[in-house]
């Protein structure tokens, strides 16, 4: 087995252990977690701020095929999808599908 193959297997093993360990701990401690606690709200805020930062980075500094889209198109799609997200009671499916459709249509026809 080559060095690259053994490194890939090691990476897969370590990430699998980390993933399943965190899921197992979540199952074990889920009964004791108060959803209204300060620590839970802190993690919620951190998750949303990380997502906002990632979306901002992709919109302002795009990579790949998204470079072809004008910044105004990208901002319009983000604004519309956030609006759909809020109207759809925080359902992520609708804005995700809508963003792909809107970007495709707007890039093709504008």
**pLDDT tens readout for residues 44-98:** 899 999 989 998 999 999 998 888 889 999 999 999 999 999 999 989 899 999 9
pLDDT of residue 75: 94
53 Cβ contact partners less than 8 Å away, ≥ 6 residues apart: none
pLDDT of residue 26: 86
Q: CA 2, CA 76: separation in Å to the nearest integer? A: 49
Q: CA 109, CA 104: separation in Å to the nearest integer? A: 9
Q: Which two tokens stand for residue 99?
A: 């963003």
Q: Which two tokens stand for residue 80?
A: 């519309």
């Amino acid at each position: 087995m080559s060095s690259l193959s053994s490194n890939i297997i090691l990476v897969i093993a370590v990430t699998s252990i980390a993933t399943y360990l965190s899921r197992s701990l979540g199952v074990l401690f889920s009964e004791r977690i108060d959803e209204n606690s300060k620590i839970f709200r802190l993690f919620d805020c951190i998750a949303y701020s990380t997502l906002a930062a990632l979306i901002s980075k992709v919109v302002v500094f795009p990579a790949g095929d998204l470079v072809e889209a004008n910044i105004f198109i990208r901002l319009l799609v983000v604004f519309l999808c956030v609006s759909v997200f809020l109207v759809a009671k925080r359902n992520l499916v609708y804005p995700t599908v809508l963003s792909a459709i809107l970007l495709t249509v707007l890039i093709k026809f504008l």
